[in-house]
Amino acid sequence: MPRQADELTLAIEPVAPSAFGGGFALAEDHWDECGLFKDHIPLDLDWDKIFKLEEMGMWKSMALRRNGVLLGYSNWIVGPTLHYRSTVFAQNDSIFLAAGAREGYAGIKLIRGAEEILRGLGVKRIDYHARPFMRVGKKDRPLSELFERLGYSLVDRIHSKILE
């Protein structure tokens, strides 16, 4: 059942192109805005693997919509990890809100709504990764500050290097 907040709805939707209307175009916008190392690593989504994970119940795509129009998404890998097989984790693969939908509280509704849905799936721990250059809100603060204000703790830093 969709979670409602004002005129916004958030629900798990199948990844199939016919069902997740607008999601593929938004993924390209997301890549254009947030993708790293574009000259070395092309956007090349492994749809077969995503569909397989979805079939296994481990991939959850949440769509934030206003009057049926897709504004954003949050994609998750849900299940126990290799180190904690008795605990259900939710690892955020991607979260994105279209540029035109970033005013108001749509982003917070996307995060809080995902928490509710994931709690209902038995998730014990949620992990997001946040690009250090991503900024949000009227005060143009780092995305990581938003997560901290919402009760998230910084637990890891990821360092990347392109091997040539």
Query: Does the residue 26 lie in any domain?
Result: yes
Listed in order, strand segments (DSSP E) in the chain are 3-5, 8-13, 59-66, 69-79, 89-97, 125-127, 135-136, 141-142
Query: Does the residue 159 lie in any domain?
Result: no
Query: Does the residue 97 lie in any domain?
Result: yes
Query: Does the residue 160 lie in any domain?
Result: no
Task: Provide the b/e sequence for 111-132 (b: ≥16 CB within 10 Å).
Answer: bebbeebbeeeebeebebebee
Residue 105: predicted pLDDT: 87
User: pLDDT 10s per residue in the chain (164 long)?
Assistant: 555 445 899 999 988 654 555 566 777 777 777 777 889 988 888 888 999 999 999 999 999 999 888 899 999 999 999 999 999 999 999 998 888 888 788 999 999 999 999 999 999 999 998 888 777 877 778 888 889 999 999 998 888 999 99
User: The pTM is what?
Assistant: 0.86
Residue 12: predicted pLDDT: 94
The CATH number of residue 74's host domain is 3.40.630.30
Query: Does the residue 127 lie in any domain?
Result: yes
Query: Does the residue 121 lie in any domain?
Result: yes
Which two three-digit tokens encode residue 18?
Answer: 């016919």
Query: Does the residue 155 lie in any domain?
Result: no
Assess contact for 50 and 59: CB atoms under 8 A: yes
Range of the domain at 10: 3-149
Nearest to 64 by CA among 30, 103, 34, 106: 106
Query: Does the residue 83 lie in any domain?
Result: yes
| Domain total of the chain | 1
Which two three-digit tokens encode residue 159?
Answer: 């360092």
Nearest-Å Rg of the Cα atoms of the chain is 16
